[in-house]
């Protein structure tokens, strides 16, 4: 009951051809569809509905969650990234031995493989991973939550180009300051440029012992961003079944965005490996979705 009220779901979902489902059934249809690769026909015994209705209900609920709550990841979340919260994040990362004492989170891109499209294959071909894919840019916090998610973009795009398109640097310049007014920063891999609000490791040529120590200390805390990416796919295994992720036949990008939102809800309820590592409790579910 708490989950449904926090997500602010309507009492009844009405599809375009007037099929209706109450909010509990609609949410369960979507979660069952995304939790493990399956056909809608496999869900008939559980929900007692034909395949077209199950498909329309799942898509209607997904569209609703994306439209109502999508801004919590696509824009600067002032509740999650207030100056007081930024102080808490920087302290928790610094206490884990990070060389930076003003780092509040981590930025990285994730490559999500998809089925090879019949057209424009080169646009979504990621040469590094050697897969057809969509890419997302994610900002993760030490409490385990995804604070910002930009995408989808073509799999061939470079992380630095995605950063420029996302307008995240502009938001950091406006809002990324602690309670004392000092700038705080994100930490990313060497693909990103160095800015006041964005720090990266020293490059590999001619590193001094101090540089190597800096890189090692930041690498030990930065790996938490990979844990969060793994959590999303672990909870929603349908995202990892690329043969069923076909551009033009399903909302492939929207699926990942909605699953990331629901994963944040799961973390608010139960925590995750990242929050336990940094010993930082995520916010209450209603506080995140208010």
Task: Look at residue 203 and tell me whether its pLDDT is greater than 50.
Answer: yes
Task: Look at residue 4 and tell me whether its pLDDT is greater than 60.
Answer: no
Q: How far is CA 79 from CA 72, 147, 288, in A?
A: 9, 10, 8
pTM of the prediction? 0.93
Taking the C-alpha atoms of residue 148 and residue 132, their distance in angstroms, rounded to an integer, is 24
pLDDT at 3: 53
The string of pLDDT tens digits covering residues 33-63 is 999 999 999 999 999 999 999 999 999 999 9
The string of pLDDT tens digits covering residues 215-247 is 999 998 988 778 888 899 999 999 999 999 999
Sequence ranges of the domains in the chain: 2-69, 72-284
Task: Look at residue 169 and tell me whether its pLDDT is greater than 70.
Answer: yes
Cβ contact 55:26 at 8 Å = no
Domain 72-284 has CATH 3.30.420: yes
| 186: Cβ contacts below 8 Å, ≥ 6 apart | 103, 104, 105, 106, 107, 139, 172, 176, 197, 198, 199
Q: Which two tokens stand for residue 49?
A: 């509905």
- Where does the chain show beta strands of DSSP type E? 12-14, 20-22, 103-113, 125-126, 131-140, 146-154, 185-187, 198-199
Better-scored residue on pLDDT, 227 or 1: 227
Task: Look at residue 1 and tell me whether its pLDDT is greater than 80.
Answer: no
């Amino acid at each position: 009951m708490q989950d449904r009220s926090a997500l602010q779901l309507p009492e009844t979902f009405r599809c375009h051809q007037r099929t209706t489902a109450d909010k509990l059934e609609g949410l369960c249809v979507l979660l069952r569809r995304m939790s493990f690769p399956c056909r809608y026909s496999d869900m008939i015994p559980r929900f007692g509905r034909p395949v077209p209705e199950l498909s329309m209900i799942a898509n209607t609920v997904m569209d609703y969650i994306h439209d109502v709550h999508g801004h919590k990841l696509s824009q600067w979340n002032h509740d999650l990234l207030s100056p007081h919260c930024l102080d808490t994040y920087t302290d928790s990362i610094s206490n884990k031995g990070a060389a930076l004492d003003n780092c509040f989170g981590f930025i990285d891109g994730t490559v999500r493989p998809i089925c090879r499209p019949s057209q424009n294959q080169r646009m979504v071909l990621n040469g590094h991973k050697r897969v057809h894919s969509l890419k997302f840019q994610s900002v993760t916090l030490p409490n385990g939550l995804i604070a910002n998610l930009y995408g989808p973009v073509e799999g061939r795009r470079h992380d630095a180009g995605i950063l420029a398109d996302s307008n995240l640097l502009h938001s950091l310049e406006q809002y990324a300051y602690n309670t004392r007014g000092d700038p705080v920063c994100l930490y990313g891999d060497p693909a990103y440029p160095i800015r006041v609000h964005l720090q990266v490791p020293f490059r590999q040529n001619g590193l001094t012992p101090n540089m190597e120590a800096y890189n090692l200390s930041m690498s030990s805390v930065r790996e938490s961003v990979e844990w969060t990416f793994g959590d999303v796919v672990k909870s929603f295994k349908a995202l990892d079944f690329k043969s069923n992720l076909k551009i033009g036949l399903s909302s492939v990008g929207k699926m990942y965005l909605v699953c990331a939102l629901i994963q944040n809800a799961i973390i608010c309820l139960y925590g995750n490996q990242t929050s336990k590592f940094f010993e930082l409790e995520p916010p209450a579910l209603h506080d995140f979705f208010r």
